[in-house]
Amino acid sequence: MTMPQMPDLQREEIERIRGYLVAQAAKLSVADLVEKVRRDVQPLRQVAGAVPAERFRERPGPEDWSAAEVFTHILTMNEHGAAAIEGILDTGALPPRIDDTLKHEERAGLETAEDYWRAFEARRERLLERVAKASGEEHPDVKITHPLFGPLSWREWLLFMRVHELEHTRQIQTVGESLGS
């Protein structure tokens, strides 16, 4: 994979994260992966719920994202990642490239942090139930490609989803703090 030109510090951080994903995905059993992903996303619910409800869609500044926009991105990545992993597990299908970029958008029908959480959790649990049935050795050669972290196996991508959600949980926390939560 050719990395885009970037400062060495950023490249080192990307390589460190990729190394973590690869090493942990190889080390953990499928049951441990499922439990880790399920457990470690729980702060997202509390952090999003701490954003004042009347300000959940408000941007703290003109260049900032609202908590709703960040959570929409989390939902989108959760859905894309789940579909890719399930496709690999079920058929060995090569998933389409996933675009991990924030877009200024929200979800129709989702009003509160709890609405967003329920939508997230419902899709995540379907994924984790499917992953829990896997042996862990399905189609290791089929990769999901991330624009920075490169090709990742479905096990590595599952852990990437966890890292991604933790990063955006911190982003929602920052939004909430700036809005007075």
Is residue 14 within 8 A of residue 149, CB to CB? The reply is yes
pTM of the model: 0.89
Is residue 82 within 8 A of residue 126, CB to CB? The reply is yes
CA atoms lying within 13 Å on the CB side of residue 21: 25
Is residue 171 within 8 A of residue 65, CB to CB? The reply is yes
Does the domain at 8-178 match CATH 3.40.50.720? Answer given as no
Q: Residue 42 corresponds to which tokens in the numbers above? A: 């729980």
Cα separation of 16 and 66, whole Å?
A: 29
Cα separation of 84 and 89, whole Å?
A: 9
Is residue 125 within 8 A of residue 117, CB to CB? The reply is no
* pLDDT digit string (tens) for the chain, length 181 residues: 333 455 566 989 999 999 999 999 999 999 999 999 999 999 999 999 999 999 999 999 988 999 999 999 999 999 999 999 999 999 998 877 777 666 667 788 899 999 999 999 999 999 999 999 999 999 999 999 998 899 999 999 999 999 999 999 999 999 999 998 6
